[in-house]
């Protein structure tokens, strides 16, 4: 069960916990006047008696209240410096508040927003957004617990702010995007025996078609007919055949001839490495190797839910990379959709093969005005940037500026990486046109992977490649994203589209 967020002009006094905001230096924030005098006194005394709680961002204090009042608990939430309380900081605060309530099995809470703060409506909305994002959980495969063993989760958060209508409006703008984030997380968290390629394609169809997104599922026969030789090779070792799903959101109307934006995603439902088998420990995590495709599908869901006035085409290549007697092998030479031949030197460098065909197809078929691909492409990007930043390779300065802006607005952090002719050259083969791993071995692994993809980008098409191997799957809780599938990319892409193409 996820958290229900409401907004009201003043305190409703119908919750288990009252949350008051405190700034650095134990200053009760403006909204506290909305609480009754005794509660305010109690809050001040609780702060004075605490040796550690200073009101710094991230700090909190919970007290049980005497019987007979409106609430059972008082929560003092540290917000730090009010001048630094922007939308992102407020989202984090909302996420922390959810975690705190969940920790204590508090089912409902009400937070009073600082009425003196200029940005109160935005703060209120963002606290709601952050709390809701954090409330995601994936429990599909947990057996039902006995009533007495169940942990109580927060179910309701009311945000009291005089600008409740405005806050509600800002929140409603984000609600469909949160749906997209949750769907992306679900797909990443699903196990690979359930989310094998065709099952995944059907889940996409079921989710998007009712919202008016045109869906085409290309099965393996169709892929063969069209010449997706690189993608098909990756999938040929698996008993679960590969496919591609093309999603079209025509927000400018069916008749619109406007060139679409293209989103391309790597959808490897499980990456064993194939014949170049990965080591056993940690291999289970390779169920997240479809995180790029999940971000694309989640974004399409968000666009459709909010009826975005834009034309976007999404394409995801979905395959399972398995070793078997039918599997592709090192030394194989593939003919890609583009006609370029590729010598396979490592079957674990499969994502780039899937993307190559999807990128070529989308350019040839839709002539997009810009392309963004997302892929859990290289372990090397984790070495470089960890789980905090997504490595971003862009061939166009304007596109980079747009993405950088969307990144700063959503908190989905991007770090620009180099696209360089040298890396492109590193991917040329002695025997075929290209090879799928670099001549420089493992050095600059993420850059050479991007160099490989670059070979498939037509002249002058603005393109960005987002290597989300470190950010799509995070093994510890973050403020607004519980551990595992993060849904990274959905908010970023949605914002990029909204700010620059609608």
Q: Which of 203, 352, 424, 491 is an active site residue?
A: 352
Instruction: Give the separation between CA 267 and CA 11, rounded to whole angstroms.
Output: 46
DSSP lists the bridge partners of residue 334 as 342
Contact call for residue 343 and ligand BES (CB under 6 A): no
Contact call for residue 379 and ligand BES (CB under 6 A): yes
Binding residue for Zn ion, selected from 174, 343, 348, 357, defined by CB under 5 A: 348
Determine the interface stretch with ligand BES among 63-71, 252-260, 343-351, 476-484 (rule: CB under 6 A).
343-351
Instruction: Give the separation between CA 25 and CA 29, rounded to whole angstroms.
Output: 11
Compute the residue count for the chain. 502
CA atoms within 13 Å, Cβ hemisphere of 251: 20
Nearer CB in complex with ligand BES: 219/285 = 285
Residue carrying the six token digits 């999940």: 294
| 44 carries an active-site annotation | no
For residues 332 and 236, is the Cβ–Cβ distance under 8 A? no
Tokens of 154: 């927060």
Nearer CB in complex with ligand BES: 5/375 = 375
Binding residue for ligand BES, selected from 302, 349, 390, 497, defined by CB under 6 A: 349
Determine the interface stretch with ligand BES among 108-116, 187-195, 307-315, 373-381 (rule: CB under 6 A).
373-381
- Whole-angstrom CA distances from 127 to 81, 133, 406 are 16, 10, 19
Tokens of 100: 């705190």
For residues 406 and 298, is the Cβ–Cβ distance under 8 A? no
Task: State the number of binding residues for Zn ion (CB under 5 A).
Answer: 6
Q: Which of 278, 309, 369, 478 is an active site residue?
A: 278
Least spacing, CB of residue 486 vs ligand BES, in Å: 12
DSSP lists the bridge partners of residue 465 as 373, 393
Q: x-or-dash pattern for Zn ion, window 278-297, by CB under 5 A?
A: -----------x--------
Q: What is the DSSP letter of 258?
A: P
Nearer CB in complex with ligand BES: 68/279 = 279
Contact call for residue 373 and ligand BES (CB under 6 A): no
Q: Map the footprint of ligand BES across residues 397-416, applying CB under 6 A.
A: none
Contact call for residue 376 and ligand BES (CB under 6 A): yes
Nearer CB in complex with ligand BES: 40/346 = 346
| 278 carries an active-site annotation | yes
Q: Give the helix ranges, DSSP H, for 163-239.
A: 164-189, 197-208, 220-226, 229-235
Determine the interface stretch with ligand BES among 35-43, 220-228, 354-362, 378-386 (rule: CB under 6 A).
378-386
Contact call for residue 271 and Zn ion (CB under 5 A): yes
Residue carrying the six token digits 């834009």: 310
Three-state secondary-structure class, residue 323: coil
DSSP lists the bridge partners of residue 490 as none
Binding residue for ligand BES, selected from 137, 250, 346, 440, defined by CB under 6 A: 346
Q: Map the footprint of ligand BES across residues 460-489, applying CB under 6 A.
A: 469
Q: Is 25 left (phi over 0), alpha (psi -120 to 50) or beta?
A: left
Instruction: Give the separation between CA 264 and CA 276, rounded to whole angstroms.
Output: 25
Q: Which positions touch ligand BES (CB under 6 A)?
A: 271, 289, 346, 348-351, 376-380, 437, 445, 469
Q: Provide the annotated active-site residues.
A: 278, 352
């Amino acid at each position: 069960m996820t958290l229900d967020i409401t907004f009201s002009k003043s305190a409703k006094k119908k919750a288990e916990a009252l949350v008051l905001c405190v700034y650095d230096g134990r200053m009760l924030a403006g909204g506290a006047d909305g609480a009754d005098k005794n509660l305010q006194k109690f809050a001040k005394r609780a702060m004075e008696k605490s040796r550690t709680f200073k009101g710094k961002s991230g700090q909190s204090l919970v007290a049980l209240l005497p019987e007979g009042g409106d609430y059972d608990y008082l929560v003092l939430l540290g917000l730090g410096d009010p001048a630094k309380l922007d939308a992102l900081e407020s989202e984090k605060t909302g996420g922390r508040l959810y975690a705190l309530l969940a920790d204590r099995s508090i089912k409902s809470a009400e937070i009073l927003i600082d009425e003196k703060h200029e940005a109160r409506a935005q703060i209120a909305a963002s606290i709601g957004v952050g709390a809701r994002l954090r409330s995601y959980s994936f429990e599909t495969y947990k057996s039902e617990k006995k009533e007495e063993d169940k942990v109580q989760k927060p179910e309701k958060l009311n945000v009291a702010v005089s600008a409740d209508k405005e806050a509600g409006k800002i929140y409603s703008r984000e609600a469909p995007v949160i749906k997209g984030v949750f769907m992306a997380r679900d797909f990443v968290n699903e196990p690979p025996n359930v989310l094998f390629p065709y099952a995944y394609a059907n889940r996409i169809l079921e989710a998007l078609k009712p919202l008016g997104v045109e869906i085409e599922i290309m099965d393996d026969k169709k892929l063969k007919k069209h010449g997706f030789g690189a993608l098909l090779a990756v999938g040929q070792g698996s008993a679960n055949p590969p496919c591609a799903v093309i999603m079209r959101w025509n927000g400018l109307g069916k008749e619109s001839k406007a060139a679409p934006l293209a989103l391309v995603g790597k959808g490897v439902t499980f990456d064993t490495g194939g014949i170049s088998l990965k080591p056993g420990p940690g291999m289970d995590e390779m169920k997240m190797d479809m995180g790029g495709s999940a971000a694309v599908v989640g974004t399409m869901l968000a666009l459709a839910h909010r009826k975005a006035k834009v034309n976007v085409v999404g394409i995801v290549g979905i395959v399972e990379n398995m070793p078997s007697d039918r599997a592709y092998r090192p030394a194989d030479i593939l003919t890609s959709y583009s006609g370029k031949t590729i010598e396979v030197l490592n079957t674990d460098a499969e994502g780039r093969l899937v993307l190559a065909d999807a990128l070529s197809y989308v350019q040839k078929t839709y002539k997009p005005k810009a392309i963004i691909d997302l892929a859990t492409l290289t372990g090397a990007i984790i070495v470089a940037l960890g789980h905090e930043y997504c490595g971003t390779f862009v061939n166009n300065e304007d596109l980079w500026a747009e993405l950088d802006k969307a990144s700063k607005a959503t908190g989905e952090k991007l770090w620009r990486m180099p696209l360089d002719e040298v890396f492109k050259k590193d991917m040329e083969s002695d025997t075929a046109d290209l090879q799928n791993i670099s001549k420089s071995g493992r050095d600059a692994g993420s850059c050479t992977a991007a160099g490989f993809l670059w070979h498939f980008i037509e002249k002058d098409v603005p393109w960005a490649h987002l290597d989300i191997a470190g950010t799509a799957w995070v093994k510890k809780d973050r403020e607004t994203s519980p551990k595992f599938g993060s849904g990274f990319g959905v908010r970023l892409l949605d914002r990029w589209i909204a700010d620059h193409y609608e």
